[in-house]
């Protein structure tokens, strides 16, 4: 516990840790203000196709819709913010030279690396929770509440989720988002144990995420056949909690695959670091 | 100090070897450090000093051989051994965004819980008490070096390992660190393992020493024995010079090699340096300075000639 507390203290004493929080606060507030100012235009666009077939009334552009919209928009950017800290948490000690003090202390490397990994997950969870709070609280304050209108996950069509169900669905969607981002954090963490500078793991993680996303979205049979083997395919499984009906089998499958990725990557990092010669 | 505790082996390396790719950084090193020693570990840059220290502090794993500290195998008893050992490897690097106090608190509490007074005492011992709550990024290299020693002191270790502790310091800083090392050995009975590429640095503090080159041990033993075995060049400032030269000419174990700028350079046979000093003084010659001229290179040449094998 002591080691974990020390790691958390060190991580949250650095200004770099707050870049992600600052970015989220800025982008979310800016988006919400712009959406508020352009509310009429947005509602018009949303309703243009729907009103041909449906009679829609009530507060469609509400805080829940804004939250779902921002979460969908930022799922590429959040991994970068996570990599900023996760990619630096081990390699940063080598860059700054403090690794030479850290690893000559009695705690084993296994304990140190585990404390660092848990800190990484703690930061990841903190960032996603912050995103959620930044979306929901000002969103509800600015746009009010109402039913949620979203696209069907992976299909053509729309879903209406009653207002009463939304808070619990949002909560589990954010927990699922933390689970997804843990896999990204684990990649950055593994890279961080392999090298002695922080830039490599950050860029490396983003390269993996972007390349996998691009491969997964190419409309060719060869790339489609690869899609089930790319962790990025499962990264947006949180969206399924905002779908109807909720497909639990797919959710469990995605969660297990992402969990195995995280665990596997951590154990590789664990093994690499335990045997690593510290030359920096 | 009792003789029995003086000869207790605190650190022993057995055939310690480390290979990086095809290059052996150290080969078959057999070192022995006794309790209470200030052990000078000498060698030119690239000789394998830092590699050896990194292996002793578990930053590197040996390719061959083993390390025993306090009579226990280091690999099997890492945690219990490292709770009694501390060190600085190469330059002391800290969390620059934290204060000196917080750095010590973090590093110290990885060994055991440390109280505020202990941290302040350690800072006091190295003269940094007044800067305790300033961020380390505002510290000079010398201050970081002293803070490094403070973190080594904090957990009251029995063995301190210092890798080139005076490196990059100005003469005043070097003197302060030397004094601190002597004080730790005398006041706290700590065993100090000190690496350097400067013989002049080590000979001022070391009680025992070892010399390595190209990763291999050249010589090891009591510092006084090693340094006084060979005829050594001394520089003497002793006005009036004529009287001193006249006196020295009659001594069979001294050879004058130079005389300029108010100084005489002499070669003195082993074991006669203090006798020469005494003679000069008893003949009413004011000796204002009397110091050896030894370079690590000279020392290497002499010990590798095979005349100083221990």
Q: Hey, where are the domains in chain B?
A: 3-225, 229-304
CB distance from B141 to chain A under 8 Å?
no
- CATH class belonging to B3-225: alpha beta
**pLDDT tens across B102-130, in order?**
999 999 999 888 999 999 999 998 889 99
Alpha carbon distance B88, B82 (integer Å): 13
> Which among A9, A104, A279 is the nearest to B58, CB-wise?
A104
State the number of CA atoms in the 13 A half-sphere of A240 facing the CB: 18
What is the number of alpha carbons within 13 Å of residue A255 lying toward its C-beta? 17
Please tell me if residue A272 touches chain B, with a CB cutoff of 8 Å. Answer: no
Tell if the CB–CB gap between B80 and A275 is shorter than 8 Å: no
> Could you give the CA distance from residue A119 to residue A107 in angstroms, rounded to a whole number?
16
Contact A14 B61 (CB under 8 A): no
Q: Give B147→chain A minimum CA distance, Å.
A: 12
| pLDDT band at residue B180 using 50, 70 and 90 as cut-offs | confident
**Nearest-by-CA chain B residue for A7:** B106
Q: What percent of chain B has pLDDT over 90?
A: 44
pLDDT value of position B176: 82
* pLDDT band (50, 70, 90) for residue B310: very low
pLDDT band at B201 (very low <50, low <70, confident <90, very high): confident
Q: Which residues pair with B86 in a beta bridge?
A: B160
For B52, name the nearest residue in chain A, comparing CA atoms only.
Answer: A279
Number of H helices, E strands in chain B: 12, 15
Give, as one character, the DSSP assignment of residue B164: S
Most confident of A72-76, A119-123, B39-43: A119-123
Contact between chains at A9 and B59 (C-beta distance less than 8 A) = no
What's the CATH number of domain B229-304, 3.90.1640.30, 3.40.50.300, 3.40.50.720, 3.30.70.100? Answer: 3.30.70.100
Cα separation, A244 vs A236, whole angstroms? 16
CB-CB contact of A235 with A75 (8 Å) = yes
Number of C-beta neighbours around residue A64 at 10 A:
27
CA distance B180 to B160: 12
Q: What is the pLDDT of residue A159?
A: 85
The 10s digit of each residue's pLDDT in A43-85 is: 777 777 666 676 666 777 899 999 999 988 877 889 999 999 9
> A interface mutation test: which of B110, B148, B157, B193 has the most A CBs within 10 A?
B110
Number of A:B CB contacts under 8 A?
A: 72
Structure confidence at residue A168 (pLDDT): 95
The highest-confidence range among A262-266, B141-145, B175-179, by mean pLDDT, is: A262-266
pLDDT in tens, A161-210: 999 999 999 999 999 999 999 999 999 999 999 999 989 999 999 999 99
What average pLDDT does this structure show over B66-95? 93
pLDDT value at residue B308: 43
Strand partners, B66: B14
Q: Chain A within 8 Å of B91 (Cβ-Cβ)?
A: yes
Interface TM-score (ipTM) > 0.85: no
Between CA A166 and CA A148 the distance in angstroms is 7
Res A218: pLDDT: 86
Tell me, yes or no, if A101 comes closer than 8 A to chain B by beta carbon: yes
């Amino acid at each position: 516990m002591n080691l974990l507390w020390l790691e958390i203290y060190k991580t949250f004493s650095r200004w770099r840790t707050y870049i992600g929080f600052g970015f989220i606060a800025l982008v979310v507030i800016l988006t919400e203000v712009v959406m508020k100012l352009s509310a009429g235009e947005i509602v018009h666009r949303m309703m243009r196709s729907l009103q041909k077939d449906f009679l829609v009334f009530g507060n469609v552009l509400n805080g829940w819709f804004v939250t779902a919209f921002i979460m969908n928009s930022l799922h590429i950017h959040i991994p970068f913010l996570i990599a900023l800290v996760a990619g630096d948490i081990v390699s940063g000690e080598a860059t700054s030279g403090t690794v030479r003090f850290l690893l000559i202390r009695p705690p084993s490397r296994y304990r140190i690396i585990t404390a660092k990994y848990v800190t990484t997950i703690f930061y990841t969870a903190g960032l996603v929770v912050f995103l959620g709070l930044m979306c929901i609280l000002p969103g509800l304050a600015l746009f009010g509440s109402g039913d949620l209108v979203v696209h069907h996950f992976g299909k053509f069509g729309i879903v209406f989720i009653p207002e009463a169900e939304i808070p619990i669905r949002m909560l589990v969607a954010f927990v699922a988002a933390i689970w997804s981002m843990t896999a990204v954090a684990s990649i950055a963490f593994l890279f961080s144990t392999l090298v002695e500078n922080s830039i490599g793991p950050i860029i490396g993680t983003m390269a993996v995420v972007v390349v996998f996303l691009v491969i997964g979205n190419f409309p060719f049979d060869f790339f489609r056949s690869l899609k089930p083997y790319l962790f990025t395919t499962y990264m947006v499984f949180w969206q399924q909690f905002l779908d109807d009906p909720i497909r639990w089998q797919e959710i469990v499958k995605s969660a297990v695959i992402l969990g195995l990725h995280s665990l596997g990557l951590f154990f590789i990092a664990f093994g690499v670091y335990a045997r690593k010669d510290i030359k920096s | 100090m009792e003789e029995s505790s003086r000869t207790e082996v605190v650190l022993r390396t057995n055939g310690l070897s480390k290979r990086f790719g095809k290059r052996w950084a150290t080969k078959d090193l057999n070192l022995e450090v006794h309790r209470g020693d200030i052990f000078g570990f000498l060698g030119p840059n690239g000789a394998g000093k830092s590699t050896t220290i990194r292996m002793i502090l578990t930053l590197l794993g040996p390719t061959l051989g083993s390390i025993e500290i306090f009579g226990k195998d280091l690999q099997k008893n890492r945690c219990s051994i490292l709770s009694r050992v501390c060190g600085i490897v190469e330059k002391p690097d800290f969390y620059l965004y934290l204060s000196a106090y917080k750095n010590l608190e973090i590093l110290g509490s990885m060994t055991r819980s440390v109280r505020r007074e202990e941290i302040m005492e350690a800072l006091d011992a190295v003269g940094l008490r007044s800067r305790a709550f300033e961020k380390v990024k505002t510290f000079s290299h010398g201050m970081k070096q002293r803070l490094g020693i403070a973190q080594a002191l904090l957990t009251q270790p029995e063995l301190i390992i210092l890798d080139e502790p005076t490196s990059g310091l100005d003469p005043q800083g070097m003197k302060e660190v030397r004094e601190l090392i002597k004080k730790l050995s005398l006041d706290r009975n700590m065993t100090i393992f000190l690496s350097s590429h400067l013989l002049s640095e080590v000979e001022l503090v070391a009680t025992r020493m070892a010399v390595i080159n190209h990763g291999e041990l050249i010589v090891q033993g009591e510092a006084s024995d090693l340094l006084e075995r060979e005829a050594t060049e001394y520089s003497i400032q002793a006005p009036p010079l004529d009287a001193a030269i006249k006196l020295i000419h009659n001594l069979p174990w001294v050879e004058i090699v130079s005389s300029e700028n108010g100084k005489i350079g002499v070669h003195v046979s082993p074991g006669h340096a203090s006798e020469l000093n005494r003679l000069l003084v008893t003949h009413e010659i004011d000796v204002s300075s009397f110091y050896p001229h030894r370079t690590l290179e000279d020392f290497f040449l002499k010990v590798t000639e095979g005349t100083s094998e221990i």
